[in-house]
Amino acid sequence: MLSLGIGAIIVGMILPAYKSQQTFAATGPHITFTSERDYWIDFYLIPPIDEGTPIMLSLFSNKPGSTWIFLAPFDVQTESVSMPSVVNEMLGPTDTGLVFFGRAPKSSMYSLRISSWNSTYSVRVESRWSRFFQYRYGIVLGAALVPASLLLFYYDGIVEKRDRMFEKALKGVEDGTRKANAPLHS
């Protein structure tokens, strides 16, 4: 358990720090539009991107002027976006696509929101982030396993000491029984 805990801490610290070129792709929305529900908002979280890192975004819609896209830094603690945004565009009345090249305004997770009005979309975001970002929770697992394993080591030492004490006591009883049952010689 101790090895597993230390390994989880190492994985939780090192792997999320390794960043490489990544692509996020999505299509949607996966609903049926009706007269009561003529729009839909999809929300995605992109792992942290470092400040100044290039970001390429492309969006394609099946209807002109029917899709709005918003990409901005996201603060997990307050669960809110912060400015400046990377992209905040509504497709024009004759536009069915958008391609954007820019840079990350700050080091942060990024919120991608896409609103569709009776339309479907396909989106791609390319930048540099960690594909192992979800392993950051390994630190929590390791922080629980390491103290638990140390407690087990301590408890095991107490049990071992108690077992030795019982063995010694039983050996003493056994030796006393042999002496008591030994034949008397004159």
Architecture of the 19-131 domain: Sandwich (2.60)
Q: Name which residue leads in pLDDT, 69 or 151.
A: 69
The residue-averaged pLDDT of 155-177 equals: 76
Give pLDDT, residue 124.
Answer: 95
Token pair, residue 30, equals: 């996966």
Chain-wide mean pLDDT for the chain? 83
The answer to pTM > 0.95 is no
Could you tell me the pLDDT band of residue 155, with boundaries at 50, 70 and 90? confident
Q: Residue 41 gets which letter from DSSP?
A: E
Q: How far is residue 186's CA from residue 178's CA, in Å, rounded to a whole number?
A: 18
Give pLDDT, residue 59.
Answer: 94
The residue-averaged pLDDT of 9-29 equals: 82
Are 46 and 129 spatial neighbours (Cβ–Cβ below 8 Å)? yes
Among candidate residues 129, 61, 48, the one with its CA nearest the CA of residue 92: 61
Among candidate residues 98, 64, 69, the one with its CA nearest the CA of residue 86: 69
pLDDT digits (tens, 9 = 90+) for 78-125: 888 888 899 999 998 888 899 999 999 999 999 999 999 989 999 999
Percent of the chain whose predicted confidence (pLDDT) is above 70: 85
Q: Residue 156 gets which letter from DSSP?
A: H
The residue-averaged pLDDT of 3-23 equals: 77
- Going from N- to C-terminal start, the domains of the chain cover 1-17+132-179, 19-131
Give pLDDT, residue 78.
Answer: 84
